Amino acid sequence: MTTLRIATRGSRLARWQAERVAVLLAAEGHSTELVVVSTTGDERTDVPIHAMGGTGVFVHEVQHAVLFGRADLAVHSAKDLPAATPAGLVLASVPERADVRDALVGARLSELHAGSVAATGSVRRRVQLAALVPGIEFAELRGNIETRLKKVPESGAIVVAYAALVRLGLTAHAGDVLDPTLMLPQVAQGALAVECRADDTIAHAALRAIDDPDAHACVAAERAFLAGIGGGCDQPLGALAVRGADGALTLDALLADSGGTIHRTTVRGADAGTAPESLGEQAARELAPGPDGTAPGAAQGRGGPT
């Protein structure tokens, strides 16, 4: 039996994610081993993610390990992936998706006010919190989850993905878990993405067996929005797709313009057969910035509260 080598970052959360994929593959009869890779994002902890260009700083080296034969699979937090998959790789599997919401650690949302400090390196989180709490101030936040939990501002809060707390058994730290109507998640938040070489039929077949079709479809819709906007984690955008009881997908998406105004839209598939990517492409057309840096006025106010 061939052992599938899984490339992963070295943080406890990244290892948890890779080990979860290993467990799923073991249930299908495959043996695995981890290949730990250091990334630019891990090494440059003194620089804000958005200042490094944001997109891909936690994934490129992991992808290269697969492309150049050091590993067979790459496991990522799907929200870290750039919109475009590198030539030679395929996003072969999105296993079951965890909780998509953001969480506040420290003060609850109702306790934040003008002058309170929220620590987060995410421009998406900042623009939405600024709309919820006028006058709130922000501080940078980097490091693994355990490091971030030590950086809660006095009388303020840090903002993290709730899925990370769940996966590491740290949910007791969450003061508030924010509904997506208040804080729309990052594209593909809570999901894992597993890539392999496009010509690796053995790895591809193994990953198809652990794919969650609904999670994969939702992630595909969200990533199509990301691709259509041309952004990444350095952009003030978010998206969340859900499948309804009738099988059709609904995509909520937001983008803040250059003046900080949030624009939202909701796009719904005609039926269960609607291509997920078409929803993301439509949302991107509705929210893509115009020449002056502002989002189209027709999209303002759609999709619920900001």
| Among candidate residues 283, 223, 214, the one with its CA nearest the CA of residue 253 | 283
- Give pLDDT, residue 124: 95
What is the CATH number that goes with domain 3-95+191-211? 3.40.190.10
Q: Which residue has the tokens 């769940």?
A: 166
Q: What top-level class would CATH report for the domain 102-178?
A: alpha beta
What is the pTM assigned to this prediction?
Answer: 0.89
Q: In which residue ranges of the chain is pLDDT below 50? A: 41-54, 297-306
Please indicate whether the domains covering 102-178 and 219-299 agree at the CATH topology level: no
**Known catalytic residues?**
80
- Give pLDDT, residue 39: 64
- Give pLDDT, residue 303: 35
- Give pLDDT, residue 295: 64
- Give pLDDT, residue 104: 98
- Give pLDDT, residue 52: 38
pLDDT digits (tens, 9 = 90+) for 154-197: 999 999 999 999 999 999 999 999 999 999 999 999 999 999 99
What fold, for 219-299?
Answer: Double Stranded RNA Binding Domain (3.30.160)
Q: What is the average pLDDT score of the chain?
A: 90
- Give pLDDT, residue 296: 66
Domain assignments of the chain as residue spans, ordered by start: 3-95+191-211, 102-178, 219-299
Residues 6+ apart with CB under 8 A from 109: 132, 133, 176, 178, 182
